[in-house]
Amino acid sequence: MSELKFPPNFSWGVATSAYQIEGAAAEDGRGPSIWDTFSHQPGKTFEGHTGDVACDHYHRYDTDVDLIASLGVDAYRFSISWSRVQPKGHGAWNEKGLAFYDRLVDKLLSKGIKPHVTLYHWDLPQGLQDLGGWGSRDTTDCFADYADVMGRRLGDRVASICTHNEPWCTAHLGHHVGQFAPGNKDPQLAIQVAHHLLLSHGKALQAMRASGVKAPLGIVLNQSSVTAATQSQADRDSAERQYAAFVRWYMDPIFLKRYPTAPGLSIYPTVSENDFNTIAQPLDFLGINYYTRIWASESSPPVPAPNAMGVNDMGWETYPQGLSDLLRQIDRDYDLPPIYITENGFAGDDHLVGGKVADSPRIAYVHTHLAALQQAMEAGVDIRGYFYWSLFDNYEWNSGYAKRFGLVHVDYENQQRTLKDSAHWYSDLIRKGR
């Protein structure tokens, strides 16, 4: 495989999110979130799995940070459980919840690891869902208040704060497809939710800047390159539409103050005067999460995507070239701030055998994606760091614990952590790079 060479100041990290790892769902004053509600409804998640315990990270954060440090990474990306720090999403704050994140940040800093905070990774307080959730414009103001409080509390110690993780998932999977919390199936609502997420991002940035938060501020978007399966007009239109709905729907408002148009895109949100000015706040960085490409085929039966490099356990095609294509495309289309790859990872059919997990497909996945990243950097895209998703095997949303993305294997019977071969490989890569 190709040799990888990254600049000495390039940041190497691992990423997680609160509901996927913390557990302690009803402890120390935490309120319920929409994922607690959703995962406890019969039939919503794989075998009824919930995040009640997850990786028990709330109780094990101290030794978990030691584990992170042992990997040699210099950065850790995690999210705040909003309902842990503000149980209803409005009104009273929970000091015990806030203190947990203080302890986590301080422990990371004591180990020389830069904390990168995500404010919203899909777990809206149920108290706000009861008032209309992201479908209500009022939620955007609650989010700005929450961002302000967290920014004041942690902003002098953390390396970055991002508002949202993958707003497309919240809007589309949560409100159109209904596969994620809160489980709505309403395309018009989903588009309004997407608008409110963007608006809340803009308001949160304004609030944190007004409070003088020192940490760099940004947003994390999930993106893919899109390939038309054939050169037919229908496939090319479909590719244009899917790229607009997935990538441009979030990039255009932030960088160009408008929503995109594309063949077949017909649902737009209600937008109030000045919304685009609020949304288009200058960013200190942009986080990109990349896993696979989108294959656009309108044929019947559809033309299947080639899968010479295989698919992962989620059925997602391994297509590293898409990462490089995507980064060069957005670099051409927008005036971008520095970029971090805030997620990239592989779900594998991993097994703990004799104290080891042999996961060479994950190593190949990371290696080829880093080579693609290097290509984009050589082409001039300003990329400052890479976070592998995920540190641990964890709660993969509606797939429960059945899908394993971690560098570290978790045995959910006894919470034992075991470094997979990929973790050793990633550590070596980072140490040799330095």
**Which member of 74, 343, 350, 393 binds ligand IFM (CB under 6 A)?**
343
Radius of gyration over alpha carbons of the chain, in Å? 20
Structure tokens at 37: 């509600």
Write out the two tokens for 286: 């942009």
251 three-class SS: helix
Which of 224, 289, 292, 422 is close enough to bind ligand IFM by CB under 6 A?
289
Q: What is the DSSP string of 89-130?
A: SSS---HHHHHHHHHHHHHHHHTT-EEEEEEESS--BHHHHT
Residue 359 as a binder of ligand IFM (CB under 6 A): the answer is no
For ligand IFM, which is the closer residue by CB, 169 or 207?
Answer: 169
Q: Tell me whether residue 61 or residue 389 sits nearer to ligand IFM (CB atom).
A: 389
Biggest CA-to-CA distance, the chain: 62
Shortest Cβ distance from residue 165 to ligand IFM (Å)? Answer: 6
Rounded Cα gap, residues 309 and 418, in angstroms: 27
Residue from 259, 290, 388, 389 in contact with ligand IFM (CB under 6 A) = 389
Say if CB 292 and CB 242 are below 8 A apart: no
**Binding residue count for ligand IFM, defined by CB under 6 A:** 8
Q: How many whole angstroms separate alpha carbon 226 and alpha carbon 230?
A: 12
Minimum gap (Å) between residue 256 Cβ and ligand IFM: 25
Q: Please choose, from the candidates 35, 29, 62, 65, the residue with its C-alpha nearest in 3D space to the C-alpha of residue 50.
A: 35
End-to-end CA distance of the chain: 20
Smallest separation, CB 266 to ligand IFM (Å)? 28
Residue 13, H or E segment: strand 11-15
Q: How far is the CB of 42 from ligand IFM (least distance, A)?
A: 23
Burial label, 137 (beta-carbon count in 10 A; 0-12, 13-18, 19+): middle
Of residues 93 and 316, the one with the C-beta less far from ligand IFM: 316
Q: Is 240 a catalytic residue?
A: no
Q: Tell me whether residue 79 or residue 140 sits nearer to ligand IFM (CB atom).
A: 79
CB of 365 to ligand IFM, least distance (A): 13
Subset of residues 146 to 165 that bind ligand IFM, contact rule: CB under 6 A: none
- Catalytic annotation on 343? yes
Contacting residue, 396, 409, 420, 426, with ligand IFM by CB under 6 A:
396
Catalytic residues: 166, 343
Contacts with ligand IFM, residue ranges (CB under 6 A): 17, 20, 166, 289, 343, 389, 396, 405
